[in-house]
Structure 1
Amino acid sequence: MFDVLSITGPIYIAIALGYAVTRAGLFDKADMRTFGKFVISIALPALVFRTLATRHIAEVLDPTYFLAYCGGSLLTFAGAFFLYRRLGLPDIASTFRAMGMSCSNSGFVGYPIALLTIGPVAGVGLSLNMVVENLVMVPLLLTLAERGRGAGGPWYRAALDSLRRLAKNPLILAMAAGLLISIAGWSLPAPALRAVDLFAGASAGISLFVIGGNLVGLPLRGLGRRVAPIAFGKLVVMPTAVALMLALLVWAGLPPLSPELKAAAILMAAMPMMSIYPMLAQAYGQEDVAAPALLVTTLASFFTLSSLLWVMRHV
């Protein structure tokens, strides 16, 4: 068990440090937004670009991984959405509860843990996850949220608006540039590669620090029946759905993943929900559930991820 704690321990120490120094007033919540913007706009795009640009295209566009992770995400979302609708919740409330169960924090938490567990191949998993989350899940969720709010115009207008915004996203631009270099077979000059590495290497530590700082001041209302199912769905149901999709796709004839990529897919699915979850929910009046759910899920993930890593290593 100590070998597992040697992986998860530093991750949550970094999160705790971000929480402690922000709670003590050394940094403000506004500083966390600045740090987070650096990670999202500079560090993570540099990491994604380097991962894609320095590998052959066949290594980074693995159909089994993509279909398994996308299928597991959509299966978890659909099951949660229709379950909450059957319980009588409106579309918007059902959408954001389902989002909490099906959108992982691949960049801020998933990548650092995967990097410590499976090494450089974690960057491949991060890149594929970003494609699923940014091009499939987020547009779908925003489209359903707009529909639930009764926004005027056809449903596809919200989807198109979301895609237009994503086209300006630094992560998407970094993916496109990295894929272009990979497909063309070009090699980055050594000085340029080292410059990219400087920013890419900053992503893990700062992102965990930001997660901790952002937990300061989150409301504790809504714990219990409203939040526990979301945490359980994110930390248990989604990785189970991805693992089942992996088995189903191999049974259907797709090539199996390497042990490292298989571990990356399941680990990434077992992460807490993305850090922008409360901010997206706030725009639709759902922050009273989203913020406590993020707090509880992040705290509970220490135990669930430690258990999952132990099982993956010994079973």
Structure 2
Amino acid sequence: MSGVVSGFTVIFIMVGIGYLLGRTRVLGDSAHEVLSRLVFFVCTPALLFHSLITSDLSVIFSTTLVIAGGSALAIGVIYVVVARLWLRAEIPELAIGGLASSYVNSVNLGLPIAIFVLDDASFIAPLLLFQILVYSPMALITLDLTVTDPATGTAPRTSTVRDAVVAPLTNPIVVGGVAGLVISAVGWMPPAAIMEPMKMLGNASVPGALLAFGLSLTGVAVFKKGQSPRRAIALASVLKVVAMPALVYVVARWGFGETGHQLFAQVVIAALPTAQNVLVYATRYRRGQIMARDTALITTLASIPVIGVIAFLLA
């Protein structure tokens, strides 16, 4: 449990610093948007590039990839269907909500828990890969095709087939992940002059996302009546911290016959809260920011007792 406490303490401190920076306006009024764009366009692509090059692909492509990735996708689809039928949400909000309900905080909380609680960082790598190369591109392509360009105000593009091919090639996060995977697969290690800058920029991704999250909380009331989409947030939060761990337990236990520490690890990873990356994406496309922010905060708080119960029952 000390690893869980340590991981959450890191998150709360970084978010708190971001909140204080926003309250004091040290970084100016546009700090949140500028920092979010820095994380989206520079730091996260560098993190993915460096991480995948230095990863063991034989560990990544395992049953954990099927269980974690498949369960995340299933929960996201459940959110989209329910929110479309119940809330009549539009496509961009469905994309953000689908991510909020199932996109795991696999880096800034997942890695500390994998190391300190599960004693093996490789448990988080398959899900990280799935989110980088499959889940994020699916959502980002959807957003690219349906959201009006915030800079020009132009209407969504209409050539779906062409844009479905072009969008991943122009998205920096997807480009960074694919480039790292390809280089890792061919077995080439770039020189230190390339890897070190990527590592330095990548190291700034997690704190940058957490600071941006803290900045976004300045001057707003979480779950505020009349402003916050409460039903959408409640739906995404319940799916993330309750339904997703339960689904992973069922799939891993009876679908793949896993028991013991392996089963415990799968369920703990599924119970991790919504990643701050979802807020970065929402801010980038200017759709669903409040839902992404509130869901990330609520699931972060709720995941503490949930992971504690899982540890008590399965550890």
TM range (shorter): 0.7 to 0.9
Assess if the C-alpha contact under 8 Å between 1:51 and 1:178 holds in 2: yes
Corresponding residue of 1:35: 35
Corresponding residue of 2:78: 79
Structure 1, 123-132 or 49-58: larger mean CA deviation: 123-132
Corresponding residue of 1:178: 180
| TM-score of the two chains, using structure 2 as the length reference | 0.75
- Following TM superposition, by how much is the alpha carbon of 1:179 offset from its aligned partner in structure 2, in angstroms? 1.9
Q: Flag the 1:72–1:280 CA change in 2: closer, same or farther, 3 A.
A: farther
Q: How many residues align?
A: 296
Corresponding residue of 1:233: 239
Corresponding residue of 2:200: 198
Q: Flag the 1:280–1:102 CA change in 2: closer, same or farther, 3 A.
A: farther
Map Cα deviations across residues 186-213 of structure 1 (whole Å, 9 max, x no partner).
2333444333322222222222111111
Structure 2 unmatched runs, 5+: 116-120, 149-154
Assess if the C-alpha contact under 8 Å between 2:57 and 2:185 holds in 1: yes
Q: Flag the 1:293–1:59 CA change in 2: closer, same or farther, 3 A.
A: same
Structure 1, 37-46 or 117-126: larger mean CA deviation: 117-126
Assess if the C-alpha contact under 8 Å between 2:101 and 2:240 holds in 1: yes
**Pairing 1:24-103 to 2, within 5 Å after superposition:** 24-62=24-62, 64-87=63-86, 89=88, 92=91, 95=94, 98-99=97-98, 101-103=100-102
Amino acid of the residue matched to residue 246 of structure 2? T
Corresponding residue of 1:207: 209
- Following TM superposition, by how much is the alpha carbon of 1:19 offset from its aligned partner in structure 2, in angstroms? 1.4
Q: Flag the 1:308–1:159 CA change in 2: closer, same or farther, 3 A.
A: farther
Map Cα deviations across residues 22-54 of structure 1 (whole Å, 9 max, x no partner).
122112352222222222233222222222212
**Pairing 1:1-315 to 2, within 5 Å after superposition:** 4-62=4-62, 64-87=63-86, 89=88, 92=91, 95=94, 98-99=97-98, 101-104=100-103, 106=104, 109-119=105-115, 120-121=121-122, 122=124, 125-139=127-141, 157-158=159-160, 160-218=162-220, 220=224, 221-222=227-228, 224-225=230-231, 227-247=233-253, 249-251=255-257, 262=266, 265-268=269-272, 271=275, 274-276=278-280, 278-279=282-283, 282=286, 290-314=288-312, 315=314
Structure 1 unmatched runs, 5+: 284-289
Distance 1:173 1:226 in 2: 31
Amino acid of the residue matched to residue 175 of structure 2? L
| TM-score of the two chains, using structure 1 as the length reference | 0.75
Assess if the C-alpha contact under 8 Å between 1:17 and 1:212 holds in 2: yes
Task: Report the RMSD for the aligned CA atoms in angstroms.
Answer: 3.7
